[in-house]
Amino acid sequence: MQVVDLSSLISVETEEGEVQKYLSSFCCSKNEEVESFLHNRAIDAEKRDFARTSLVIDDQTDTNEIIGYFTVTVKPFHFSEDISKSTKQKLSGSKNSENFTTTLIAQLGRSDPYKGQVSGKEILELALHRCKEIKQLTGLRIVCVEYEDVQPLRDFYEENGFYFLQTNQNNNLRLSFVRLS
């Protein structure tokens, strides 16, 4: 397994269509949004500096198939009114804060052919490693994920050390966090 930044593929490839074709080989039937983002919006987000996408590549194959990917960005969140002052202090450094800034793992997915071979946890660990690199550069120690309120996703993030914070009022997604050491 190897992690390759999408930006490096875009800068090396002379034909953007080739990169687009390569990204379109990714298949994630469990989550159409994860598949759609990589197929339709990842290159644009990369070029516009909205987010950074990293591909997890199977470097044991001649075709360097995409095992999975993750996308990270920096995003501010507004605390909901029911968040305690101690939690605000933990996440933002001030018990009176209304907002906090975080590294957001905006997308995380595994390609269908690799189910049973590479776990979601392994891809998440690679994403968290990238978040630790971001922390070293920026000081951002809080990593968040937003996800649909379904049991498998709740279980996945809880089992991997994320704590539920609040439900986002705008999109009804759960917001959970982990604090990097």
Which residues form the domain of 142? 2-179
The whole-angstrom separation of Cα 61 and Cα 150 is 34
Average pLDDT of the residues in 99-112: 97
Residue 145: give its domain's CATH number.
3.40.630.30
73-96 pLDDT tens trace: 999 999 999 999 999 999 999 999
Query: Helix, strand, coil % (nearest 5) of the chain?
Result: 40, 30, 35
CA distances from 143 to 11, 105, 150 (A): 28, 7, 20
Rounded mean pLDDT, 11-27: 85
Mean pLDDT of all residues in the chain?
94
Confidence band (pLDDT; 50, 70, 90) for 15?
Answer: confident
The confidence score (pLDDT) of residue 89 equals: 94
**Contact present, 71 and 131 (Cβ < 8 Å):** no
Mean pLDDT of 42-64: 93
DSSP E strands, 2-98: 2-5, 52-57, 66-78
pLDDT at 181: 87
Percent of the residues in the chain that have a pLDDT greater than 90, as a whole number: 88
Q: Are strands 66-78 and 52-57 parallel, antiparallel or unpaired?
A: antiparallel
| Weakest-pLDDT range from 8-17, 82-91, 108-117 | 8-17
Range with lowest mean pLDDT among 12-16, 53-57, 81-85, 121-125: 12-16
Counting the structural domains of the chain, the total is 1
